[in-house]
Structure 1
Amino acid sequence: MGQKTNPIVNRLGIITGWQSSWCNNYKDRIQEDFKVRRYIEARFPKGIISRIFIERTLKFITITIRTSRPALVIGKRGDEVDTVRKELKKLTKKEVQINISEVKRPELDAPLVAKSLVRQLENRISYKKSIKLSILSAMRMNAQGIKIQISGRLNGSEMARCETYKEGRISLGTFRADVDYHMSVAHTVYGSIGVKVWIMKGEIYGKIDLSPLLGIQKRQIGNQKRQKRGYKSYHFNRKKNK
């Protein structure tokens, strides 16, 4: 059953943390998180948003957007971020703070690789060429292994099939292995095509901080005070991929 388990969920509490941090009122908050993520994904161009982390307090929500194109998310003079913050404030009816975190190596980020393949499939680019380029780019960035699985009516064939491309090693059964995973769907004229991406970046030893907002929480209190005084507050935080 190990091969059928989501690698990220399988490592929760060991080397990965939750993408949403809150408790109580499960039904309402999980629906609200879904609406927030759906709005942000639809608000910006496809393929530039990696992951969205949400942390809640009683009257405050901190949203961290990991992206490969921070300039597009921030906008000119921060206008885009301010607009999104106001819309999310109306949606959640709470004070919202948005942090922008740059993905410095998008070739090693599974969500960005999967969304890039989906965009190319929808533009009718050869799937074999796209997959080989993605694998080559990941291995050039010192990935220990990458696996891409694609299934559906490939090239418009009458019968759906599944193809898998792999290079290097993917240790799905080792908990300390840093395996990034994402699944996405391409909607083409022939039907839906599923894309799954596994990327192994290495192994993690020792104790690590599982907070998704690492490096941002220390500045959060000061930024809340600045917002109360009328200052605009948004962050541009660079994180290093492991």
Structure 2
Amino acid sequence: MEERKFVALKKEEFNIKEFVKKYLGKGKVSKVTIEYTPVGEKVVMRTNKPGLVIGRGGEKINSLTTILKKRFKLENPQIEIQEITNRFLDAQSVADEIAVSVENLGSLRFKTIAYRLLQQIVDAGAQGVELKLSGKLPSARARTWRFKKGYLKKVGDSSKVVDRAKAVSQTKSGTVGVDVSILHPDVKIHDHIDLTENKLPVEEKEDGKV
């Protein structure tokens, strides 16, 4: 019985998180967490656009609070906003930005979008970054393109500290999947690489049909 309650709780939390992101709009919120306190439920939202999330005079937050009470039966939801200081070091923010940019500018501009974000992430101090876009880019055949720079651990304990995120872009030619991996500047690794010297070339790779 306890296991069923736990599964039901996690399912409800997932539904709440997905609803909040959809309600506020793609790219507005990076992460949503729910904490349970003696006075109610605390819904924490990480965002690099706090003004757009809060709304004029707290309008959006007040509206969202009311919806969470009625739709999800939360007794006393308290919404907390955590501002992301540098969106280029937050994998979900980057993934959402790529997805939105591909939708707005078109899939033919995907390389320009990827290179721009890649450089901005490196300039923000990341030790390593990989951007992966999968879909009909730009041909009728589905392919996967990877854009990499710096050091990025793929396996072992060090790989657990890599910030990873996914997003989906809906274009005229079809769905494009976006995967982002970032190794933050404050992560301690044995073989450190300094990207600020700009000695490392950007690696672009087409994996072929997926």
1:130 aligns with 2:110: no
Question: Normalising to structure 1: TM-score of the pair?
Answer: 0.70
What CA distance in whole angstroms lies between the structure 2 residues aligned with 1:90 and 1:58? Answer: 20
User: What does 1:74-223 align with in structure 2 at a 5 Å threshold?
Assistant: 74-93=54-73, 94-123=75-104, 124=106, 126-155=109-138, 157-176=139-158, 178-201=161-184, 202-203=186-187
Aligned to 2:205: none
What CA distance in whole angstroms lies between the structure 1 residues aligned with 2:171 and 2:112? Answer: 17
The percent identity for this pair of structures is: 29
What CA distance in whole angstroms lies between the structure 2 residues aligned with 1:187 and 1:28? Answer: 31
Residue 121 (structure 1) shift: 1.2
SS in 1 for 2:155: coil
Unpaired stretches in structure 2, ≥5 consecutive residues: 190-210
What CA distance in whole angstroms lies between the structure 1 residues aligned with 2:90 and 2:111? Answer: 20
What CA distance in whole angstroms lies between the structure 2 residues aligned with 1:47 and 1:134? Answer: 15
Aligned to 2:22: 42
Residue 28 (structure 1) shift: 2.1
1:61 aligns with 2:41: yes
What CA distance in whole angstroms lies between the structure 2 residues aligned with 1:175 and 1:24? Answer: 32
What amino acid is aligned across from residue 154 of structure 2 in structure 1? L
Residue 192 (structure 1) shift: 1.0
What CA distance in whole angstroms lies between the structure 2 residues aligned with 1:76 and 1:121? Answer: 29
Maintained 8 Å contact 2:17/2:33: no
How many residue pairs match? The answer is: 182
- CA deviations on 1:185-205 (whole Å, 9 max, x unpaired) are 111121111110000014259
Unpaired stretches in structure 1, ≥5 consecutive residues: 1-22, 206-242
Residue 91 (structure 1) shift: 2.2
